[in-house]
Structures are given as structure tokens and as C-alpha cells.
Structure 1
Amino acid sequence: MSLKFHRDKLSPLNIWPGFVDALTALVMVLVFVVLVFVIAQYILGTELNGRNKAVDELNQEMNRLSALLMRAKQDINQLDAEKTQLSEQVVTFEETIESLQSQNMTLSTKIESLTSDKANAAKAKMSLEEKMAYLQSQIQELMSQLKLKAIAIDQHKSNNQVLEEEVASLTKKLKSALNSEAIKLANYKSEFFGRLKEALADQTDIIVVGDRFMFQSEVLFDSASAELEDNGKEQLKILAQTLKKISKSIPADLNWILRVDGHTDKRPIHTKQFNSNWELSAARAISVVNFLAQQGIPTKRLAAAGFGEFQPLDTTDQDGDYNRNRRIELRIDQR
């Protein structure tokens, strides 16, 4: 009896039920967190799709109204041409009437002076009067047509004014939407460059000018080379990490890109690999873009450009000026 009590006292504690309870609680918490994240993603995606659809509808409506406006302008031009043609016909008829009236007066004089030809002159007079009556009726009809054309032109001009007002309103809305996107992008750009400036504060070869970050070429590359050095890769890794953090908070409907511009000094280069400074600057910009893509920056958000020696910061021939002109510039732009 004493031996059994002693053996039970020394047996190990059974902790398995407590461990299972703790693991179950942890799984439930993780499931709840994932569920909240999925719901938030769905709500944000719905709102962004709604905004894109509204902008597309505004663009379609503006295109439709622009087509209607163009058609109305063509109709007005055609009516103006017809009005001009009718006016010319009226002038022609008036001239004809004046000519006939002159002939009638001549015939009347002949009737008075030539009694022998009175019958023939009377017939001629009657014929001229009939022609005059016919021309008068034609003039009245033309005047009626002119009035109808003038009414139609006024109606088209009124419709044209309404269309122009609608187009102006839609244009204003579209500009407002684009300005809103530009302001949002500027805010994210400011945050990105602010964080990047803090991360690279101890680097004297990295300069901030307005909305651009400038790396001196010596920080990233050897002379006449487009292959990134280890120190340059470390600096670009910091940049890529900062950009990835900021890009997570940028809405998907903002079409932004990180543009990488390569620049050289004006001293000529001619090697087996590079025939000009233009080729060297472009190759360096592409090397930076490729490295950022390897660090996880989406390729659709990257662009490379080479400017050679054609956009210098300093135009003198000092070594210090050459150093400043050899640079890689980074900026966030809107596509």
C-alpha cells in the first residue's frame, strides 16, 4: 500500500488537454483574423470597381455628346450653305424681275409709238406679265423656304448650345476626378520620398531635388559600366522596401509608375559594350529597373529612360560638375 502511493506521486503530469485547448483557441483567432481581412478586401474592391465604372460611363457619355455636337455643327453648316444658295437665287430672280420690268416699259413705249404693232405688243405684254406673276410666286415660295430654314437653323443652334453645356459639365466632372487622382498620387509620392529620405539620411551621395531622388552614378556603378555594385544594391534594396510598403496603401485605380532616368556627363565614350553615352545611360537605368523588379516591385510600375549627356545639372567643365551630371534619377509619375 505504501509503495503504490509513492509511485503515483512520482508519475508525470498529464498536460495534453490543456495544450489542445490552447491550440484550438489559437486556430479560432487566426480564422477570425483571416475572415475580417477577406471581408475588408471585398468591400474595398467593390468601391474601386464602382468608381472605375462611373468614370467609364462619364467618358462614354462625353463621347456620345461630342458626336452629337459634331453632327449638329455639320447640319448647321449645311443649312447655312442652303440659305446662301437660296439668297443667291432670290437676288437672281429680283434681277430678272427688274430686267423684265425694263422690257415691259420698253414694250409699252413701242406700243404707244407703233400703233401698227399694237396687237403684237399687247400679246408680248401679256406674256411678260404672266412671267412676272410666275416669278413673283416663285419669290414668295423662296421666301417661305428661307423662313423655314432660318427657324431650323435657330433650333439647331439652341440644341448645339445645350450639347455644349452638357459637354462642359462632363468635362468639368472628368477634370475634377483626374485632379483628385493627381492629388492622391502626390500625397503618396510625398510620403514615399519622405520615408526614403529618412532611410538614406546618412548618404551624402544621394540628393533630393523637388519630386526626384538622385543617386550619383559612383554610388551604383563603376566607371563606364552598367553593372550594379554591391553598395549600390544595398541602397536600392532600401528604396524597394520603402516603395513596397507605400504601394500597399495606394489604391489600385491610381495608375502610377516609378521612372528611372539615367544621365551621364558630356565626355564621350566608345567601348565594345557602349558606343555612346546614350547607350550607357539607358543600360544603367535598365539595370536599376531589373534589380527593383527582382526585389518585388511589379514590372508594370517601372519604367526606364536614358538621356545621355543631354540634360545636365551643370554646364561647366569642372570635375565636380561632371560628377553631379553622372546620376540616376527616380521619380513617381502618373501614367
Structure 2
Amino acid sequence: MALSRNRRSERHVDYWPGFVDALSTLLLAIMFLLSVFVLMQFLLSQEVNNKDSVLNRLNSQISELTELLSLERGKGQDLEDTLAGLQASLTAAENEKSRLQSLLASGGGSGAAAEQRAGELSATLDAEKQVSARALSQVELLNQQIAALRRQIGALEDALNASEARDRESNTKIADLGKRLNVALAQRVQELNRYRSDFFGRLREILSDRENIRIVGDRFVFQSEVLFPTGSADINPQGLIEMKKLADAVVELNKEIPDDINWVLRVDGHTDNVPLSGTGRYRDNWELSSARATAVVKFLIANGVPANRLVAAGFGEYQPLEADDSSDARSRNRRIELKLTER
């Protein structure tokens, strides 16, 4: 008993890895939010480009119709000028006809010539009236065309205004969606952090009597010797006891975390940097670390943990906790890490 108290007194808590891991988690969350922001900006730019194309097309149509309207107005003005000239000629002809008829009525010596002249003027007058009627008809037709063009321009302007209004509304909705998404992501990260803290607190209470089981930052670390014989991925009897405690804690955690939080428990296998002989069951440290992580995941599944909440990963010797080549460092680098994170 005294020896156990002496060991516990020699333990110390290394806060620096926890600080580094917390900072890494914060950086990952920031990078994820930045990725979402860049995606939203890309979608917004695509929609704005589409809106700009529609607006440019509508503006081009309005310009063409405006030019056409100007040409039709010019034609209408020419016809109106022609009509005015014809009306002036008609008036002059009617005056001349009246004068000749007056001479004819007075019985002058040139009555036959005056009568002939009056007949010619009457024929001319009838022809000019026909021309004037045609001109009036063309003017009316042009007025109808101008009115139709004005209606088309009005409809295009209404469509343009509606498109601009929809564009403004869409931009507002996208901005609001981005804000709500950022808030939701932040809430989910905070919620998962709270459950992670509770989970590690439970594991600390359940497994705190083992020197080779510890918490490093946001990870729970089992030294490989607790779970596996040397060079093997078969969990030993003592390791099965510890893994059963872990499985019970994860099952309880799964009942508490809401379904809309997409969490997983990641099981990472790590080895030291001593190469395997290559003649055994596993050819290298990659295979050994992956097999150990998979063995832990399969045991947890067999003891009630949902398979969709577990991830197995092997890192070989390439993520050491300590870089020196001493036997103590190699022992600490041989480990199984558990991390509660988002999928």
C-alpha cells in the first residue's frame, strides 16, 4: 500500500500536450469554418454571375428595342410630314377648285376651259385624298407598333426590376444562412466538447488506478502492454477487463448524446520505431498498428457499441509522443489512443 502511494505521489500531470491538442482542435474548427465560408462565397459568386448574365441580356434587349423604337418614331415623323404636305396640297387644290367653280358660275367666256380645269383639279383632289388616306393608315399602323414596343420595353423593365429584387433577396438569404450555419457549427463543437469532457471524466474515474492508462490532451491513452502481448494484436485477459469498462462507458455515452450530433470514437494504433522481422503474422508496424486498432473496435462492437460510431486507424511508428530512442520513449510510443470527435 505504501508503495502504491509513493507511485501516485510521483505522478505528475503534463498540461502541455493537452494545450497543444486543444489548440489543434481549435485550429481545425477554424479551418472547417473557413472552408464553409469559402464554399458559400463560391456559391454566392456563381449565383451573382448567373444574375449578371440575365441582367446583361435584359439590358441588351432593352437597348435593341429602344433603338427600334427610335427608328419607328423617325419613320412616323416622316409620314406625319408627308401627310402634312398632302393636306396642304389638298387645301390648295380645294381652294383652286372653289375659285374655278366661281368663275364658271359667273358665266365668263372661258367657261369651257374653266370647267375642264375644274375637272382636272377634282381628279387631282381625289388622288391626293387617296394618298392622304393611305398615309393616315400607315401613321395609325406605326402608332400601334410604337405602342406595342413601349409595352415590351415596360415588360422587360418590370422583369429586370423583379430579377434585381430576387437577386437582393437571394444575397440576403445566403448571408443569413451563412451566419446561422456558423452559429450551428459553433454550438455543435461546444456540445461535443462538453460530452467529451464528461466521457473522459468517467473514464478517469473508472481507469485511474492504472499507471499505464492516462489522458493526454483530448485523447485517452492506453499503453500497448496493457492490452496486447509483444508483436500481437490479440487482446490479453487483463486488457479485456479494461476494454469492457471502456465499452460500458461508450454505451452510456451513446444514450446521452443527441442523434443530430454526428460523433465517432476514433481508435488509433501506434507502435515504436523498432522494425518487425517480417517473418511473423505482421510484416511491418503499419499492419500491427492497424490490426490492434481494429481489434479494439471489434471488441467494442461485440460489447454493444454501435459500429457507425467507431473508427479504426493505424499510424505505425510515424506519430511518436517522444522522439528520442530510449527504451522508455519507445514504451510510451507503443499505445492505443481514443479520441471522441466529429465524423
Please classify the TM superposition score into its range, dividing by the shorter chain length. 0.5 to 0.7
**Native 8 Å contact 2:223 2:335 kept in 1:** yes
Counterpart Cα distance in 1 of 2:302 and 2:51: 59
Q: Which range moved further: 307-316 or 267-276?
A: 267-276
For residue 238 of structure 1, what is the aligned residue in structure 2?
245
Counterpart Cα distance in 1 of 2:44 and 2:318: 47
Q: How does 1:310-329 map to 2 (within 5 A)?
A: 310-329=318-337
Matched, 1:179 2:155: no
Q: How does 1:88-103 map to 2 (within 5 A)?
A: none
Amino acid at match of 1:213: F
For residue 278 of structure 1, what is the aligned residue in structure 2?
286
Offset at 1:238?
A: 1.1
For residue 164 of structure 1, what is the aligned residue in structure 2?
171
Counterpart Cα distance in 1 of 2:235 and 2:330: 20
Matched, 1:330 2:306: no
Offset at 1:274?
A: 1.1
For residue 74 of structure 1, what is the aligned residue in structure 2?
50
Matched, 1:268 2:244: no
Offset at 1:83?
A: 6.8
Matched, 1:305 2:313: yes
Deviations along 1:194-234, one digit per CA (max 9) or x if unpaired, are 01101111100011012100101111111111110111111
**Native 8 Å contact 1:268 1:277 kept in 2:** yes
SS of residue in 1 equivalent to 2:279: coil
Counterpart Cα distance in 2 of 1:201 and 1:319: 24
Matched, 1:296 2:304: yes
Counterpart Cα distance in 1 of 2:285 and 2:55: 61
> Any stretches of 5+ residues in structure 2 without a counterpart?
1-41, 64-151
Offset at 1:245?
A: 2.2
**Native 8 Å contact 2:208 2:214 kept in 1:** no
Alpha-carbon distance change, 80 to 204 in structure 1, aligned in 2, over 3 angstroms = same
Alpha-carbon distance change, 310 to 151 in structure 1, aligned in 2, over 3 angstroms = farther
Counterpart Cα distance in 1 of 2:161 and 2:326: 71
**Native 8 Å contact 2:51 2:167 kept in 1:** no
Offset at 1:156?
A: 4.6
Q: How does 1:68-147 map to 2 (within 5 A)?
A: 70-71=46-47, 73-77=49-53, 79-80=55-56
Alpha-carbon distance change, 234 to 207 in structure 1, aligned in 2, over 3 angstroms = same
Q: How does 1:193-232 map to 2 (within 5 A)?
A: 193-232=200-239
SS of residue in 2 equivalent to 1:248: helix
Offset at 1:149?
A: 9.2
Counterpart Cα distance in 1 of 2:240 and 2:182: 40
SS of residue in 1 equivalent to 2:265: strand
Counterpart Cα distance in 2 of 1:221 and 1:281: 11
**Native 8 Å contact 1:69 1:164 kept in 2:** no
Counterpart Cα distance in 2 of 1:167 and 1:262: 42
Amino acid at match of 1:196: L
Alpha-carbon distance change, 244 to 292 in structure 1, aligned in 2, over 3 angstroms = same
**Native 8 Å contact 1:76 1:156 kept in 2:** no
Match of 2:198 among 191, 198, 203: 191
**Native 8 Å contact 1:72 1:156 kept in 2:** no
Deviations along 1:49-107, one digit per CA (max 9) or x if unpaired, are xxxxxxxxxxxxxxxxx9898455224136548979999xxxxxxxxxxxxxxxxxxxx
Amino acid at match of 1:308: G
**Native 8 Å contact 2:44 2:171 kept in 1:** no
Counterpart Cα distance in 2 of 1:289 and 1:197: 20
TM-score normalised per structure 1: 0.57
Alpha-carbon distance change, 290 to 150 in structure 1, aligned in 2, over 3 angstroms = same
Offset at 1:175?
A: 2.7
Amino acid at match of 1:160: D
Counterpart Cα distance in 2 of 1:156 and 1:325: 62
Offset at 1:252?
A: 2.2
For residue 137 of structure 2, what is the aligned residue in structure 1?
none
Matched, 1:258 2:234: no
Counterpart Cα distance in 1 of 2:324 and 2:230: 20
**Native 8 Å contact 1:69 1:160 kept in 2:** no
TM-score normalised per structure 2: 0.55
Counterpart Cα distance in 1 of 2:43 and 2:298: 44
**Native 8 Å contact 1:79 1:149 kept in 2:** no
Q: RMSD between aligned alpha carbons?
A: 3.6
SS of residue in 1 equivalent to 2:256: coil
For residue 26 of structure 1, what is the aligned residue in structure 2?
none
**Native 8 Å contact 2:44 2:174 kept in 1:** no
SS of residue in 1 equivalent to 2:296: helix
